[in-house]
């Protein structure tokens, strides 16, 4: 039994091809490379959808202000990386953002819109710096437009999910479902940290 498992594992290893997490701008264009960048990292997807869920939970002006703060400050972080300004702890803070943003959804943390925007913006800076650090040979404007649009769409997906769940399961059931999603996001962040 062990011999068969070892042979199967060795065969699969030899057949595996390398995973390319980001599109090559020379082959696919700078916009496509930028657009795909946030969509190819679990940490980015979880954090950005959590921002949308939290904005949906906060409601009112937060539906626009919290995601807009994220995208706006993310662009500032992107430019900071392009100017070569070093920022410490980028990757650990990105991982922490998944946990923290998941927790604020799990706790249904009720904060003023400005505070929600500030929390989202803090983490966005580091996400943007990571995008800028990984630009490679891509064109600045088209790459930046691509990842900003993908980020906004991930926020919109979180908002849509939050509002949809709220309408589908009215009252406390919908809120509990969103809080469970937040808890799962935080747990996903912890698993990413551990791996």
pLDDT digits (tens, 9 = 90+) for 175-195: 888 899 999 999 999 998 888
Structural contact between residues 25 and 138, judged by C-beta atoms closer than 8 angstroms: yes
The string of pLDDT tens digits covering residues 105-141 is 999 999 999 999 999 999 999 999 998 888 887 788 9
The string of pLDDT tens digits covering residues 81-113 is 999 999 999 999 999 999 999 999 999 999 999
Mean pLDDT of 13-19: 37
Is the predicted pLDDT of residue 152 greater than 70, yes or no?
yes
Which pTM value belongs to this model? 0.83
The contacts of residue 72 (CB under 8 Å, 6+ apart) are 121, 124
Structural contact between residues 109 and 160, judged by C-beta atoms closer than 8 angstroms: no
Which residue in this structure is represented by tokens 């539906």? 63
Q: Is 94 exposed, middle or buried (0-12, 13-18, 19+ CB in 10 A)?
A: buried
Per the model's pLDDT, the better-predicted residue between 63 and 9 turns out to be 63
């Amino acid at each position: 039994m062990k011999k068969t498992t070892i042979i199967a594992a060795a065969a699969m290893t030899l057949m595996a091809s390398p995973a390319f997490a980001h599109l090559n701008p020379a082959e696919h264009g700078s916009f496509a490379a930028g657009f795909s960048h946030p969509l190819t990292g679990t940490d980015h997807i979880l954090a950005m959808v959590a921002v949308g869920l939290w904005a949906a939970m906060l409601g009112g002006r937060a539906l626009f202000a919290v995601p807009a703060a994220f995208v706006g400050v993310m662009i500032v972080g992107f430019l900071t990386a392009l100017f070569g300004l070093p920022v410490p702890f980028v990757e650990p803070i990105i991982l922490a953002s998944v946990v923290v943003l998941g927790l604020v959804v799990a706790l249904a943390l009720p904060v003023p819109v400005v505070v929600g925007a500030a929390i989202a913006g803090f983490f966005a800076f580091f996400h943007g710096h990571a995008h800028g650090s990984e630009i490679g040979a891509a064109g600045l404007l088209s790459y930046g437009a691509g990842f900003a649009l993908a980020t906004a769409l991930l926020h919109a997906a979180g908002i849509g999910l939050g509002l949809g769940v709220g309408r589908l399961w009215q009252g406390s059931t919908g809120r509990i479902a969103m809080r469970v999603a937040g808890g799962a996001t935080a747990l996903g962040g912890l698993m990413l940290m551990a791996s």
